[in-house]
Structure 1
Amino acid sequence: MRAILRVPLAALTLLFLAVASAPLVDRPPVGDTVNSIVRLAYAIERQDIEYSWGGGHAERPGPSTGTCLGYNGKIRPCPAERTRGLDCSGLTRWVYALAYGRDVLGRGNTDDHLRRLFRVDDPRPGDLVYFGKITEKLVKTNHVGIYLGRGLMMNAPETGASVRVDRVAEKKGFAGYFRY
């Protein structure tokens, strides 16, 4: 069986404290937050955390077992209920919670998280990149990643994969960049 976490969650919290350059407040200055979000995303990627449908949506942010409710992935039977990991919104929720010092996105899915953000045309590293359909009357997203700059994003892409860096342009259905 593959190791899901090589470093305890407490160690990631200590890592965050080491990389944060300023005390946490509700909305830290953009530069401090961006650096923390991107650094935390890369630190989490190095832990080889598996994708788990619904993972990361327990009471507290971070890896958790997922759910098979609504699962339509290629791997059968659904492995989510026995896989401790993160789905895409679970990843962004955890990174933002570590960076902001509290759970700013909450337990919901990509659509729920999007409602806490505002759209930007000038994406910066640390912003979230959404995929799906977003109009004035409809919000139906299917994926989210953390924008790293240079057209790259950190994301939990699909069952059978781990948290990784992908090119934004390679994912279909780009819907926009959003900032907290």
Structure 2
Amino acid sequence: MGISGAIRGRLVLAAVVLGLAAGSAPVNEELARVVSIAYAAQGSMPYSWGGGHATRPGPSKGTCRGYHGAITPCPAARTRGFDCSGFTRWVYGLAFDGDVLGRGNTDDHIRRLRRVDVAQPGDLVFYGNRRRTHHVGVYVGGGKMIDAFATGTRIRMDDVSALPDLLGYYHYSG
């Protein structure tokens, strides 16, 4: 789970940005690392359906099983990158120094977290409903998240209102 030189350089810049955003600073060291890693990852990897779900967290080729994206034929099996839950799994794995979210999808990951009424930067923001979720991003404050959004995009920052079915914010307590 090492961090590449390019991402390491971005972490320094992200730390400066975090220092300037003190009004919405993460509540602990791990969440501060989550935000720094997410900021540093922007633009670094493409979205890949099923990407990031290998035995260890990190970018991987995806799968076309269950793919319903707009780009056809499905590019996931030849694209090394992340889907949304693979990205958050990797970010949390680096920040918490272990695979705390584990393999699986957004439904599996949300079960390892507790819902919070007031989001802190570094918490995860989920979309869907209580029975089935379909998207997750890293909340970075100011109504923004960093996520692996969809086929054809790279890791990026989006408004939390980018999708209409915001389920809520969730916190990991390791």
- C-alpha distance in 2 between matches for 1:173 and 1:12: 34
- C-alpha distance in 2 between matches for 1:101 and 1:15: 19
Alignment of 1:120 onto 2:105: no
Alignment of 1:164 onto 2:160: no
Partner-residue secondary structure (3-state), 2:121: coil
Q: CA deviation at 1:146?
A: 0.3
* Contact 1:52 1:159 (C-alpha < 8 Å) held by counterparts: yes
- The one-character-per-residue Cα deviations of 1:62-111 (angstroms, maximum 9, x if unpaired) are 11000000000011110000000000000000000000000000111000
* Residues 15 and 121 of structure 1: CA distance in aligned 2, closer, same or farther (over 3 Å): same
Out of 2, 11, 30, the position equivalent to 2:5 is 11
Match of 2:37 in 1: 40
* Contact 2:54 2:60 (C-alpha < 8 Å) held by counterparts: yes
* Contact 1:16 1:99 (C-alpha < 8 Å) held by counterparts: no
Alignment of 1:79 onto 2:75: yes
TM-score scaled by length of structure 2: 0.85
Q: % of aligned pairs identical?
A: 54
Point out 4+ residue stretches in structure 1 off by more than 3 angstroms: 8-19
Q: How does 1:15-34 map to 2 (within 5 A)?
A: 30-34=27-31
Q: CA RMSD in A?
A: 2.1
TM-score scaled by length of structure 1: 0.82
Match of 2:50 in 1: 54
* Contact 2:43 2:154 (C-alpha < 8 Å) held by counterparts: no
Q: CA deviation at 1:17?
A: 9.5
* Contact 1:13 1:98 (C-alpha < 8 Å) held by counterparts: no
- C-alpha distance in 2 between matches for 1:10 and 1:149: 25
| Letter matched to residue 155 of structure 2 | V
Out of 83, 90, 93, the position equivalent to 2:89 is 93
Match of 1:23 in 2: none
Structure 1 unmatched runs, 5+ = 1-7, 20-28
* Contact 1:55 1:90 (C-alpha < 8 Å) held by counterparts: yes
* Contact 2:27 2:120 (C-alpha < 8 Å) held by counterparts: no
| Letter matched to residue 140 of structure 2 | L
